[in-house]
Copies of this chain bind each other. A is one copy, B any other.
Amino acid sequence: MPTLLLDRNAVSDLLDMAEVIRAVEEAFIAWAEGKASMPPKSYLVVGKGDFRAMPAALPGAAGVKWVNVHTQNPARGLPTVIGILILSDPETAYPLAVMDATEITAYRTAAASAIASKFLARRDSRTLGIIGAGKQARYQILAQAEVFDIRQINVFDRSQTAVETLIDSLPDFTVRACSAEQAAASDIVCTLTTSRTPVVMRAWVAPGTHINAVGADAAGKQELEPAILKDAMVVVDDLRQASAAGEINVPVTAGLYSADDVYASLGEIITGRKPGRTDDSVITVFDSTGVAIEDVAVARIIYEKARATGGYPTMDLV
């Protein structure tokens, strides 16, 4: 059984947001139940950006994602983020597939936010605020729409072009450009910037808001005024990664917030070990750093669908 080789188009064709949400949720459950193995991701800083090695093992699937952030790439006609994933059989370590993981990263990141919203946002949430209209924005909207009946989407970005491109890419949704403050006044807010200073202020956030803080994924990055965290029920995907590289990292380093103040992990919430939202007036924040179990879980689906479909290239690599 040779190794499947799945390029970007193949992976894109096989991805389905509802399936990804289900797989990511199952991965968090497996992890919470001690059935997964996942060290924190490793960062390698190089001159023009950084690389991250993200290994994880789940029941039935193991793998490593190798992904980067090179912000000068677009000027060279290359994407900022390029991901590749090796999926292995945990029983034998045989490489089942090598696949593009750029689109997987986009889907699973959005899926994690949707799962967090399902457990943490108010059930009657109808408006979605998007702060940062880069590529991830569209995926976040599609994922949130899988779990909520979103009627209105309020988008802010410093770049008017980015906002217009996003609106044009979503003809089936009611999307309007607005200020950051207006976007933050939505029922569910997704922050998707690369900011190193707060882009959402405490005063803008109404009681009962749920925020998916997605942008901060490396030391020094932050999107929320720390007072929001102080007043919120904070849920993380991985406390080790969040403390070092997630939304809470800058306030923790500055002594403005303690990792001990984090309410729960997403796995604890999904498995019911700790309740999600129980009060319509509390502010909830999901600090999403992105974890390798998400990638491996999605890669496993892609692999299984590709095998079932057939016709993809293979190679006796090892």
Question: Which residues from 165 to 179 on chain A have a C-beta closer than 8 Å to any C-beta of chain B?
Answer: none
Q: Do B45 and A42 have beta carbons less than 8 Å apart?
A: no
Separation of A53 and B212 alpha carbons in the complex (Å): 29
**Segment at the interface with B among A56-64, A143-151, A182-190:** A56-64
Q: Do B100 and A317 have beta carbons less than 8 Å apart?
A: yes
Separation of A46 and B68 alpha carbons in the complex (Å): 26
Given A102-B318, A317-B7, the answer on whether A55 and B51 have CB atoms closer than 8 Å is: yes
Separation of A218 and B43 alpha carbons in the complex (Å): 22
Q: Does A98 contact B (CB under 8 A)?
A: yes
The oligomer's copy count stands at 2
Q: Do B78 and A92 have beta carbons less than 8 Å apart?
A: yes
Partner of A43, one of B39, B51, B68: B39
Q: Does A106 contact B (CB under 8 A)?
A: no
Partner of A8, one of B39, B66, B100, B317: B317
Q: Does A160 contact B (CB under 8 A)?
A: no
Q: Does A31 contact B (CB under 8 A)?
A: no
B residues within 8 A CB of A46?
37, 57, 62, 90
Q: Does A196 contact B (CB under 8 A)?
A: no
Partner of A94, one of B39, B47, B82: B82
Question: Which residues from 80 to 134 on chain A have a C-beta closer than 8 Å to any C-beta of chain B?
Answer: 82-84, 86, 88, 90-95, 98-100, 102
Q: Do A84 and B53 have beta carbons less than 8 Å apart?
A: no
Q: Do B44 and A88 have beta carbons less than 8 Å apart?
A: no
Partner of A317, one of B45, B56, B84: B84
Q: Does A311 contact B (CB under 8 A)?
A: no
Residue on B nearest A3 in the bound complex, by CB: B84
B residues within 8 A CB of A88?
51, 66, 68, 82
